[in-house]
Structure 1
């Protein structure tokens, strides 16, 4: 399983609250609405940093983790017409495409008491 992590900054026009709402209520459902999401995406997580006293201010407005079984599935998903025509055009509505940081990880869960 490959985990693709995307660190993103919101557009200057959006407040933090507007950004979180748009990401969770509009973009995530749009992302999951295409058939390729059901076929290739194994897990999709959107996270938004919380400011807590004693911790540094977040450097990014969101973290998106998308899990695929293989690079082939990743490439097939992101090259699909549905992604290119429906999902990708929406991304620039709420985050800065030219500032995205991407990581590819081979995740190893050491402990997960949430699922046991």
Structure 2
């Protein structure tokens, strides 16, 4: 299993509410309109920062995390190489500070799954 994790920080001129709204109601439908996304993606999850901070634990400096699951890296590359993917990447600039975006590409090692 191949997983794309993208850590997002909202643009300085956007409130948390506007960031969350745009990401969910504008960006996600754009991403899901790409036929290759529907064909190759197993799971697409947006995690919106709740703002909860635990005492003694540093809070991550991100407003959200995208998790996207694929069967393998070839499936992800099929999406990324589609001409339609560029519009989705460009749209991120409408709600996120791309200079602060971090990406972590991983393979899953399931330790426990109930």
Smaller-chain TM-score range?
0.7 to 0.9
Residues paired across the two proteins, number: 111
Quick check: 1:69 aligned with 2:71? yes
Q: State the match for 2:88 in structure 1.
A: 87
TM-score when normalising by structure 1: 0.86
1:48 equivalent in alignment to 2:26:
no
Between the aligned partners of 1:71 and 1:111, the Cα distance in structure 2 is: 23
**Residue matched to 1:103:** 104
Query: The residue matched to 1:108 in structure 2 has which SS?
Result: coil
Tell me the secondary structure at the aligned position of residue 51 of structure 1.
coil
- Conservation of the 8 A alpha-carbon contact between 2:8 and 2:65: yes
**Unpaired runs of at least 5, structure 2:** none
Distance 1:18 1:72, change over 3 A: same
Task: State the distance in 1 between where 2:53 and 2:34 align.
Answer: 40
Q: RMSD of aligned C-alpha atoms?
A: 1.6
**Between 95-104 and 37-46, the greater mean CA deviation after superposition:** 95-104
Distance 2:69 2:36 in 1: 13
| Offset, 1:80 | 0.8
TM-score by length of 2: 0.87
Describe the shift of the 1:54–1:28 C-alpha distance in structure 2 as closer, same or farther (beyond 3 A). Answer: same
**Is the CA contact (8 Å cut-off) linking 1:48 and 1:63 kept in structure 2?**
yes
